[in-house]
Structure 1
Amino acid sequence: DALRVGAEHWPIFFEGNNGREALFLYLTAASLRLLGQTVFALRLPAALLGTGSVWLAWRIGRANFNRRAGLLAAALIAVSLWPVMESRWALRAVSLTFMAALTVYLLDQAFRRQSAWRWLAGGVALGLTLYTYIPARLMPLVILAWMGWLFWTRREAAKRQWRQMAAALLTALLVFLPFAWYMWQFPDKVNQRANSMTVALDLAVKQGDWGALAASVWGVLRMFSFWGDVDWRYHVSGTPVFDPLTSLFFYIGAALCLWLAFSRKDGGEQRPSYALLLLWAGAMLVPNAILEANSSFLRAAGAIVPIYLITAVGFDGVAAWLQNRFPKIVTDKVATAVVLIGLLLTLTATYHRYVNVWRNQADVRRIYQADLTEIGRFLNQNPPPEGTRVYLADSYVVDIAPRTFAYASDFPVDWFSINDSFALGNGREPLWVIVGVNETLPPEFAQKLGLTRGTVYPFANGDPAFTLYQINPEKAVWPPQQPMNVDFAANPRLIGLDLPAELYRGETIPLFLHWQIPPDRTHLSNQIVFAKVQVVDGVGNVWSEVESLLGYPQESWRADDRFAQMLPLEIPDAMPPGEAYLRVSLRDFAGKPVAMTGENQSEAFVVRSRPLTDFTLTPEMPLFDDTLALRDTIFSSQLMPGLDIDIGLDWVAVQRPSIEYKVQFQLWYAGEDAPFLTQTAAIWPDVYPPTQWQTGEAVRSLHRLIVPADMPLGEKPELRIQLLDSATGTAVPLTQGDNKLADMTLATRDHSYEIPPISQPLDAQFGDAIQLLGYDLDVGDAQPGGALRLTLYWQALATPPGHYTVFTHVAAADGRIVAQLDGPPGGTLTGTWLPGEVIVDEREILLGADVEDGRYALRVGLYDAGTGERLPVTLGGEAQANDQLVLTEIEIGP
């Protein structure tokens, strides 16, 4: 984001990564522009802001309390673990620490010196503070409360400067105005990070879970001396803010601030200063108090300066109390010694925890990818032999390659995702494949390539950092067991696949896809593409599918490169044994299929079966002919005229069937003597009929019950099943259980046959069964950001043979679709229409704010959502181009 700033790209808010305020990223962009794209330039703004916070703590402490308080607060911030780590994160939270302190300092100085320019500068700082980090949104409340305290305790001085205060607040508002406008326009973008979090306050108020809120508040209270942030990402897990002695001074300081904020001692002139520290620290800790039990030190970054100032006030109060009771020369020396020893111990503890503990912790190394740093150092010191291809294996390769790798050599390094892919090079170059300590080489790849062991290289403390595998060219590429040749547009070519020799139902097997990069597809930018593999039986039923990211990013592609992709492919236990195929396709991130040429279906393979070993026939389970048990069923119990019902039956062969069976479905109404609908279907004829089943074998049969749109209506329908002997057509006995599958729920709708008044009548026909009688069109809001309101009047010439979707397109003269709305006509399924029925289909087609003024065509059509095939259209007996009807032309504009 920082690198993209400039060249007409000046965002008010950065939307990526759940949204980030802009100020710190602009500072980072300036640093990178001035000093170059280096780690030093990236970290410099945070270091300067952290150092500036030390100076501001000194200035605020000296001005409001005394020199000792200011020096101690500044020194504690300079040597304590929390602010030191914050200054090295290079995250925007440090900008809140600095800007909040700068705002307080400028406004406090403005009031003390009655300085107009300082009031304005403080207003600018307050406005900019709102561009730092989410908790900054509470900072204006802190300043308003502080001003209120001034009017309460320093009334005359405050009254003399009320105009300057108002000017400061107005200045802050003007500075904040661009971001305020953005927040009003895009609240979901600005609040996406907050909205993604569980808010303990919401749980308490809306669900009555006050325990969650109590845990969050307790997390804040104990962070100072008992238990700190547990997230290794930003802190040494569990380490509190203070050691026990320093925390004692913090508690004393908090008590003194609370007492003196309301005290009238010395005329109460310092009351606003003490109140300000409590208001400031309290407001910056509110997010932690209302969110979750873990008190995040990152979220609390705005509280760093006031917390250490409060601690300094506590120490100063104790020192003053001692000076009143003991000789000053003694107390001064004791206080100085205690401070120096304490600061030295704090600095030592900070160094140890940061350099020795945090830096070498396994979670920290994983989070910050320390293995990549070590790999870069190794390659800089040990360049590979000339002609060697170097690959880095990483789980998040598409996100990071190659921008986060500190590798100074000009020798190229390529990447692949180790989770499910392995880059094989072009077969002519030796390979170095480097696997970081946080990654695991799948054993399937290691076996295929003969990678029994690699060379392990450690971190400086001896812990493993990465493993280097050196692979000869002849070992790097293994030929696919089943060659294929499928060319995907702007993507790799599928050249084959590997399957195990035997496939059994109920197993998940490793499937290897072999890909090759055509010479014309190098120098492409990274994009996310998924490979999908479907298991298809001999009649076209899809039984399972698996999808996985193509793990070899485009920025690493070179001509003739090959890589293998491994997918865990499930062979469902209910799938019938016999011939099956694999169907391979690609899709982009949005789900759009990638165009291809070539046959993407594999050669046939045989799915075998193993009998169940844990099957138990229960008394309620239907058993037919002492042979087939119906273990389970899958279907919808809703019965709607014209809506077919897909039924899955899970059978278990208690003994090997000796005859072929057929399934007979019957729909009954309660109290009737005969079913009103009967349908018979064979069980996997020509694929895997029952006489081929083995004892103990489980098979799922699939059926579709055709429900006519003009079925008779009655009360309490139920679905029953019988098994028939295929040879005789007679029902076999039901040995046990009930043959009623379910009580069905009858769903009906009203049918209208009356044609209403139509402003624009037509005589258009779609397919053989659907007629468009005309339409009404309201163009009163036909402008960018507006909508078209269209009513279509359909009539069924006969019950349509399927369920079709209506598309309505607003198209430019060049064919571009600028707006569209797809959906079933009138919210009904066309297969449920009765002959002569009239359907009123009301539609609101939204026009985007970016639609240009001009004339557009309004087009309509019908298509099968499963295949995308459109119904042919005729108007007055004349066929319409592209199977669509142009209703009219419309003018879009103000």
Structure 2
Amino acid sequence: MFVPAALIFALLSVVPKFNVRYLMPASIAMPLLWAAGLSGAWARRSSISRLAAVLASLLLVLGSGYAIGSMYWDARLTRADFRSAVRSITADMKADETVLLCSGHLYPVWQYYAPTVPYVALPATRVLSVSQRLNLDVSRDLNVALAGKRGAWLLLWQDAVADPMGAVPFLLEQKGEQSERDFWQVKVRHYSFPAPPSWPEHPAPQAPLSIDFAGIIRFEGLSRLDSSRLALFWRAPRHPDAEYRAQLLIRDASAHEVARLHFAPAGNAYPTNLWRPDELTFVPLSVVLPPAQPGGLYSLFLGLYRADNGQPLEVLDLAGNPQGQMSLIAKIELPGTTAAVDVAAARDFYHLEPRSDTWGSLDLLGAEACPALQLPPGARLSLPLLLHSTAPVVEGRLEARAVWRSETGSTIVAPLPTILLPASVAADQSLIIWLDAYLPAAATPGPMSLELKASAPAAPLSGGWTQLCSVSVAAVHRDYAAPRVRWPSQARVGDAFSLLGIESPSNSLTAGQSVALDVAWQAVRTPAANYVEFVHLIGPDGRVWAQSNAEPLGGRKPTAGWLPGEVVVDHVTLQVPQDAPAGTYRLEVGMLDPETTPPARLPATDGSARIPGDAVSLGELPLLR
């Protein structure tokens, strides 16, 4: 038995990477066991035993033949083409270039096919292991490996395990021109550097930021890679307890949501629950506008949410107070996508109904349908429209109006905001524009027609008004009598609101229970937009222990529909947390502009004095333990 064991040891000792699961089929013992079984069956001289031996031998030969044939001719079992990849590198490699292996555990392959050519293994490991993952700290190894070099050859195999974020190619592409060669299951990338490259010992984003998502993950900033690619950087102060995903919201200059991207913060190969504490992670991201969007300045908003249930993480300020679930991270110029637009695909993307309206050289090819539900006065409409130019259009615009009948039957026409096209639209361009309007506050219940007409001062467009769609206006109750309130106020919020005060039937607070409040407002004039009311319960420690952020009356009376002098009483319920401390609590009230991110507070004044924080402080309620 010594000889077979010695031969097995001798054969396997020259293989630097050998998994124990291959021991039996790769050793001499396997065919010896087969031979012992077959010879034993044949030696019995029984016809049945010998027939079994023949059948077993035939099965063994056929199975081995099928396996050997599959190894050479079945594409599903084709092995990685290391030989061609290595020969490709060595044939074109220059004296001032270096070979990088990622993952580094494939170095035996390189030593076999190119034993005289030096290499750098990244990471320098004999066995592939998820515990030796690369990150941006690999810049130190690259600084050493590429000192004085003008080029690098990167051989990639199983790199998704060793370098799940792609840190090595990410750093290399920042310094040189990249070309790629694909081989079966193997990739080769060549980088040509205009000068010997070097990287900071601790790479950092070009535009550093610090955005805290619920104390779990912190956004560290971003780098602009090219006109449509960014790199987003993150850090987790502690090991994240779950897998989180990110969403990037793209808004145009008028705050329309143009696109929303969902992605893993460090790529799909490196989920957040594998991150190391305080490790700088990143993800390259392509930011491309959807079809028919004009080039220009776009705002990027970032958020995080749990992958298992979609629960968003709150953005926290320095004091730990929630600031919403999305945060502005950048405003960037993006190239337009208005040329050679597939009209049918654009309609599908924006959920538009086909249209065929023409104003000379400007065609309306699609529009979103008006809501089918009844809408109260002041309700906001934001309808995307797909336009196409058959000839150049300079300073084009779409005029809009609302038409309805009064209670006496007369026709009322109210202008809506004019839609401005880009200053100059070339011929054969398709672009998305938006009709943004609030239903007139004075609208009476019943049908209302929305109409459009195109014009261009430099070259007048033919065609008149065309009906876009019809909406149904709901009846609303209006009250102009000021109610009695427990805590009156004379504060002004913005230029359109007067806070009359707060009423509450409760004389104290109870931990774990709710408190009901009535917040009374009066319109000084019709507000220009729909605002959100905030009500905060501030504890003795200065923290916000309960809050409400919502449109008055749950959106049934949007503020853009309030008439001058109208009084609106909003019913608010705040839930007091079970762990709220004893002490005196006060109420804060104000208005937010939801079109800004984070929502900006409207300025609040008391007489001629600006109220600190633009939050009107009213009333006190004790909480006893």
TM-score for the superposition, normalised by structure 2: 0.58
Is contact 2:487–2:619 with CA below 8 Å preserved after alignment? no
Q: CA deviation at 1:485?
A: 2.4
The 5 A counterparts of 1:438-837 are 452=181, 484-488=206-210, 491=218, 493-494=220-221, 496-499=223-226, 512-514=229-231, 524-526=238-240, 533-535=248-250, 542-551=257-266, 565-576=283-294, 578-581=295-298, 583=300, 585=302, 587=304, 590-593=312-315, 601=330, 604-612=333-341, 621-634=355-368, 636-637=370-371, 640-653=376-389, 655-657=390-392, 661-669=396-404, 676-679=413-416, 681-686=418-423, 689=424, 692-695=425-428, 697-711=429-443, 713=444, 715-727=446-458, 732-733=462-463, 739-779=466-506, 782-827=509-554, 828-837=557-566
Is contact 1:524–1:554 with CA below 8 Å preserved after alignment? no
Is contact 1:586–1:594 with CA below 8 Å preserved after alignment? no
- Cα 1:764–1:833 shift into 2, 3 Å: same
The 5 A counterparts of 1:58-457 are 390=123, 413-414=132-133, 425-426=139-140, 427-428=142-143, 434-435=158-159, 452=181
Specify the SS of the correspondent of 1:850.
coil
- Cα 1:406–1:523 shift into 2, 3 Å: farther
How many angstroms apart in 1 are the aligned matches of 2:183 and 2:123?
Answer: 15
Structure 2 residues without counterparts, runs of 5 or longer: 1-102, 110-117, 146-153, 213-217, 307-311, 319-327, 348-353
Q: CA deviation at 1:650?
A: 0.9
Specify the SS of the correspondent of 1:717.
strand
How many angstroms apart in 1 are the aligned matches of 2:313 and 2:535?
Answer: 21
**Which residue identity lines up with residue 748 of structure 1 in the other structure?**
A
Specify the SS of the correspondent of 2:501.
strand
- Cα 1:819–1:694 shift into 2, 3 Å: same
How many angstroms apart in 2 are the aligned matches of 1:646 and 1:428?
Answer: 53
Is contact 1:767–1:872 with CA below 8 Å preserved after alignment? yes
The match for 1:851 is 580
How many angstroms apart in 1 are the aligned matches of 2:604 and 2:405?
Answer: 44
Specify the SS of the correspondent of 1:882.
helix
Is contact 1:391–1:415 with CA below 8 Å preserved after alignment? no
- Cα 1:613–1:799 shift into 2, 3 Å: closer
**Which residue identity lines up with residue 774 of structure 1 in the other structure?**
G
The match for 2:611 is 880
| Per-residue CA distance 1:451-484 (angstroms, 9 max, x = gap) | 757998xxxxxxxxxx8999999999999xxx93
How many angstroms apart in 1 are the aligned matches of 2:179 and 2:361?
Answer: 49
How many angstroms apart in 2 are the aligned matches of 1:876 and 1:441?
Answer: 57
Specify the SS of the correspondent of 2:613.
helix
How many angstroms apart in 2 are the aligned matches of 1:556 and 1:437?
Answer: 14
How many angstroms apart in 2 are the aligned matches of 1:602 and 1:534?
Answer: 12
Specify the SS of the correspondent of 2:123.
strand
Equivalent residue pairs, number: 454
- Higher gyration radius (CA): 1
- Cα 1:453–1:880 shift into 2, 3 Å: same
CA RMSD of aligned residues (A): 5.2
How many angstroms apart in 2 are the aligned matches of 1:539 and 1:759?
Answer: 41
How many angstroms apart in 2 are the aligned matches of 1:486 and 1:632?
Answer: 41
| Per-residue CA distance 1:484-507 (angstroms, 9 max, x = gap) | 32233574644623346xxxxxxx
Q: CA deviation at 1:808?
A: 2.0
How many angstroms apart in 2 are the aligned matches of 1:810 and 1:885?
Answer: 12
The match for 2:602 is 871
- Cα 1:842–1:523 shift into 2, 3 Å: closer
**Which residue identity lines up with residue 647 of structure 1 in the other structure?**
L
How many angstroms apart in 1 are the aligned matches of 2:299 and 2:519?
Answer: 43
Q: CA deviation at 1:633?
A: 0.9
How many angstroms apart in 1 are the aligned matches of 2:237 and 2:343?
Answer: 55
| Per-residue CA distance 1:130-167 (angstroms, 9 max, x = gap) | xxxxxxxxxxxxxxxxxxxxxxxxxxxxxxxxxxxxxx
Q: CA deviation at 1:548?
A: 2.3
How many angstroms apart in 2 are the aligned matches of 1:870 and 1:861?
Answer: 7
Is contact 1:769–1:797 with CA below 8 Å preserved after alignment? yes
- Cα 1:525–1:658 shift into 2, 3 Å: closer
Q: CA deviation at 1:831?
A: 1.9
Q: CA deviation at 1:706?
A: 4.7
Q: CA deviation at 1:752?
A: 0.6
Is contact 2:539–2:585 with CA below 8 Å preserved after alignment? yes
| Per-residue CA distance 1:827-883 (angstroms, 9 max, x = gap) | 332221111111122222111222233322232222223332223334466543322
**Which residue identity lines up with residue 470 of structure 2 in the other structure?**
D
How many angstroms apart in 2 are the aligned matches of 1:428 and 1:670?
Answer: 76
| Per-residue CA distance 1:385-442 (angstroms, 9 max, x = gap) | 99965399xxxxxxxxxxxx997xxx962367xxxxx996443367997447999999
How many angstroms apart in 2 are the aligned matches of 1:720 and 1:586?
Answer: 37
Is contact 1:428–1:473 with CA below 8 Å preserved after alignment? no
Is contact 1:812–1:818 with CA below 8 Å preserved after alignment? yes
| Per-residue CA distance 1:604-640 (angstroms, 9 max, x = gap) | 35325433467799xx943324533322112644554
Specify the SS of the correspondent of 2:522.
strand
The match for 1:349 is none
How many angstroms apart in 1 are the aligned matches of 2:190 and 2:277?
Answer: 18
How many angstroms apart in 2 are the aligned matches of 1:837 and 1:664?
Answer: 30
TM-score for the superposition, normalised by structure 1: 0.43
How many angstroms apart in 2 are the aligned matches of 1:593 and 1:470?
Answer: 40
- Cα 1:813–1:739 shift into 2, 3 Å: same
**Which residue identity lines up with residue 143 of structure 2 in the other structure?**
R
**Which residue identity lines up with residue 488 of structure 2 in the other structure?**
P
How many angstroms apart in 1 are the aligned matches of 2:591 and 2:573?
Answer: 17
How many angstroms apart in 1 are the aligned matches of 2:191 and 2:355?
Answer: 60
Is contact 2:450–2:467 with CA below 8 Å preserved after alignment? yes
| Per-residue CA distance 1:338-390 (angstroms, 9 max, x = gap) | xxxxxxxxxxxxxxxxxxxxxxxxxxxxxxxxxxxxxx9x89x99xx999653
Q: CA deviation at 1:745?
A: 0.6
Is contact 1:488–1:595 with CA below 8 Å preserved after alignment? no
- Cα 1:485–1:602 shift into 2, 3 Å: same
**Which residue identity lines up with residue 480 of structure 2 in the other structure?**
Y
How many angstroms apart in 1 are the aligned matches of 2:526 and 2:143?
Answer: 64
The one of the two structures with greater contact order (alpha-carbon pairs below 8 A, sep at least 6) is: 2
Is contact 1:424–1:562 with CA below 8 Å preserved after alignment? no
Specify the SS of the correspondent of 1:544.
strand
Is contact 1:807–1:862 with CA below 8 Å preserved after alignment? yes
More helix by share: 1
How many angstroms apart in 1 are the aligned matches of 2:513 and 2:124?
Answer: 52
Identity of aligned residues (%): 19
- Cα 1:844–1:557 shift into 2, 3 Å: closer
Specify the SS of the correspondent of 1:831.
helix
How many angstroms apart in 1 are the aligned matches of 2:590 and 2:303?
Answer: 28
Is contact 1:486–1:600 with CA below 8 Å preserved after alignment? no
The match for 1:36 is none
Specify the SS of the correspondent of 2:560.
helix
Specify the SS of the correspondent of 2:208.
strand
